[in-house]
Amino acid sequence: VSARRAAPPPSSGRGGTGARSSSGRAHAARIHAVVLAGGAGTRFWPLSRRARPKPLLRIDGGETLLGATLARARRVAGEERVWLVCGAEHARAMRRAAELPAERFLVEPRMRNTAAAVGLAAHRIMRSDPEAVLAVLPADHRVPDAGAFASALRRAARAASREPWLLTLGVRPTRPETGYGWIRLGAPLPGHAGLQRVARFVEKPPLDRARRYLRSGRYLWNAGIFVWAARTFLEELEAHAPAVARPLRPLATASRRGLARAVARAYARVPALPVDRAVLERSRRVGCLPVEFHWSDVGTWASLAEELGVGRGTSRVVGGEALLREADGNLVYADGRPVVLVGVEGLAVVDAGDALLVVDLKRSGEVREVVEALARRGRDDLL
Q: Tell me which residues touch its own copies (CB under 8 A).
A: 46, 323, 325-326, 337-344, 347, 349, 351, 353-360, 362-364, 366-367, 369-370, 373-374, 379, 382
Least distance between its own copies and beta carbon 184 (Å): 34
Complex with its own copies: residue 237 or 317, whichever CB lies closer: 317
Complex with its own copies: residue 220 or 322, whichever CB lies closer: 322
How many Å apart are CA 38 and CA 137, to the nearest integer? Answer: 11
Complex with its own copies: residue 306 or 360, whichever CB lies closer: 360
Complex with its own copies: residue 268 or 323, whichever CB lies closer: 323
Least distance between its own copies and beta carbon 278 (Å): 34
Written as one letter, the residue type at 232 is T
Closest CA to 51 of 60, 42, 43: 42
Least distance between its own copies and beta carbon 359 (Å): 4
Least distance between its own copies and beta carbon 207 (Å): 19
Complex with its own copies: residue 73 or 339, whichever CB lies closer: 339
How many Å apart are CA 106 and CA 77, to the nearest integer? Answer: 17
Closest CA to 57 of 70, 44, 39: 44
Cα angle for residues 198, 202, 203 (degrees, 5° grid): 135
**How many other β-carbons are positioned within 10 Å of the β-carbon of residue 253?**
13
Least distance between its own copies and beta carbon 326 (Å): 7
Complex with its own copies: residue 203 or 366, whichever CB lies closer: 366
Backbone angle region of 338, left / alpha / beta, with phi > 0 → left and psi within -120 to 50 → alpha: beta
Complex with its own copies: residue 251 or 332, whichever CB lies closer: 332
How many Å apart are CA 141 and CA 137, to the nearest integer? Answer: 8
Alpha helices in the chain (DSSP H): 17-23, 65-77, 88-97, 113-128, 146-162, 207-216, 230-240, 242-248, 259-269, 275, 301-307, 367-376
Least distance between its own copies and beta carbon 371 (Å): 9
How many Å apart are CA 245 and CA 239, to the nearest integer? Answer: 9
* Contact present, 364 and 43 (Cβ < 8 Å): yes
Least distance between its own copies and beta carbon 320 (Å): 10
